[in-house]
Amino acid sequence: MKVLFVDSCTKEGMASRTRRLCRIFLDEWKKNHPDYEVDTLVLKEEGMIPLTEEDIVRRDDLVRAGELSHHMFHSARQFAGADRILIGAPYWDLSFPSMLKVYIEHIFVNGIAFAYEGSRSVGRCSAEKLMYIQTAGGYVGDNEPGSIYLEAVCGMLGIPGFRYICAEGMDIQEIDRERQWSEAVERTVREAKQW
Ligand SMILES: Cc1cc2nc3c(=O)[nH]c(=O)nc-3n(C[C@H](O)[C@H](O)[C@H](O)COP(=O)(O)O)c2cc1C
């Protein structure tokens, strides 16, 4: 059984609060799931670039030819084959760093992550659950666009259990940030126990 951790954090190591929260989540969760292997994909090391028209034509040709084992589809196969998925990303400009969107472009492959049955698209991913962990400088409110988008991605790709945790107010000087952080950690541990 495999958990895919899509690390979309931009800072190095534990300088990233978001990565710290993801680590807390995984460490707690592993206590009850020692048999799972965690595959970590550090997006900033992957150097994925936005798809060009040429890439799309090549991709469509490969899909039509049934060449789904082509290396171009490695990320899509890894995502679609994972049993659980954790995505960690800081809150940037009302959603998340663009490398996460670029990653999603790369995994959204017709025939791997989803497929058409007649005119209807059907999710083809194995994961039952996807957890999205975020930290934000300010308050994100109830309709945070990045989490709404990622929940929709799960809907399309056939992943029923979307969950979302956000540690808010991390850069607001006037509030008790330590308390804010501890509450986020408590929630993360609770979620990990139930995941
Ligand atoms: C480029 C950039 C954009 C950001 N945009 C927002 C924003 O729109 N709203 C907000 O509340 N915080 C914003 N922040 C602050 C981060 O969300 C916050 O510092 C977060 O905890 C960083 O997580 P990290 O330590 O994992 O990088 C932004 C930070 C950066 C560097």
The DSSP line for 119-130 is TEEEE----SEE
**Torsion angle, alpha carbons of 166, 96, 156, 74, to 10:** -120
Closest protein CA for atom 2 of ligand 1: 92
| Helix-helix angle 74-81:98-107, to 10 degrees | 90
Is 125 exposed, middle or buried (CB count within 10 Å of its CB: 0-12, 13-18, 19+)? Answer: buried
The domain made up of 2-194 is a member of CATH 3.40.50.360: yes
**Domain map (residue ranges) of the chain:** 2-194
Which atom of ligand 1 has the smallest separation from the CA of 89?
26
- Structural contact between residues 69 and 35, judged by C-beta atoms closer than 8 angstroms: no
Give the containing element (helix H, strand E) for 57: helix 53-64
The pLDDT of residue 156 is 98
Measured in Å, residue 150 CA sits from the centre of ligand 1 at 18
The pLDDT of residue 123 is 98
pLDDT digits (tens, 9 = 90+) for 144-188: 999 999 999 999 999 999 999 999 999 999 999 999 999 999 999
**N-terminal to C-terminal alpha carbon distance within the chain:** 14
What's the 168 CA to ligand 1 centre distance in angstroms? 10
Q: For ligand 1, atom 15, which residue shows the shortest CA distance?
A: 137
CA of 124 to the centre of ligand 1 (A): 33
Point out the ligand 1 atom lying closest to the alpha carbon of residue 167: 21
Is the CB of residue 124 less than 8 Å from the CB of residue 158? yes
Burial class (CB in 10 A: 0-12, 13-18, 19+), 50: exposed
Tens of pLDDT, residues 12-52 = 999 999 999 999 999 999 999 999 999 999 999 999 999 99
| pTM as predicted | 0.97
CA of 91 to the centre of ligand 1 (A): 5
| Cβ–Cβ under 8 Å, residues 167 and 21 | yes
